[in-house]
Amino acid sequence: MTAAGIAAALMLTGCGGKDDVQGKTGEDITAKSSAGDIGEAYINEMTRIADALETVDDEASAKSAAKKIKVAVDGLNQMSDKLDGEISGVKGMQIFGGRYTDLIEVQGRIATSMIRIQSDHPELMDTLSAEMDRLEN
């Protein structure tokens, strides 16, 4: 992924509560946050989404996952708003350089879960898509 691609990936994110996250979340991030803290918060929020998606196998679990995804997406979007215009390609490399493997892993988990849900439980996609679609571009 290029530096610009990493920076663009970062801008797809926001804020959330710490109920189930160890470490930084999107709500902890400000324009003055270090690259390490931004990367940690981003990975934590994306992990929250991946964890929620991996539990989905019926309507009740989809509704529960949607609530968890909402918190993570709120965190990612809040983080994105706070950092708007502050992330350059170099900053993106600093943010994810040491966490690139973590980033790829969590993105893979999310993609795998979305494919599984779409294939095995397409009727649940509306419940999840409403929250997933809120990620800012």
Domain boundaries, the chain: 3-132
The first and second tokens of residue 111, run together, are 């993609």
CB atoms within 10 A of CB 74: 20
pLDDT for residue 136 = 65
CA angle 82, 12, 69 (to 5 degrees): 95
pLDDT in tens, 27-69: 999 888 888 899 999 999 999 999 999 999 999 999 999 999 9
pLDDT for residue 99 = 87
Q: What percent of the chain has pLDDT over 70?
A: 79
pLDDT in tens, 61-113: 999 999 999 999 999 988 888 887 555 667 777 888 888 899 999 999 999 99
* Mean pLDDT of the chain, nearest integer: 83
Cα-based torsion angle of the residue sequence 92, 4, 82, 51 in order, rounded to the nearest 10 degrees: -70
Residue 90 in contact with residue 63, Cβ under 8 Å?
no
pLDDT in tens, 112-129: 999 999 999 999 999 999
pLDDT for residue 20 = 59
Residue 25 in contact with residue 16, Cβ under 8 Å?
yes
pLDDT for residue 86 = 59
Give the chain's length.
137
CA angle 74, 2, 114 (to 5 degrees): 45
Residue carrying structure tokens 């502050």: 86
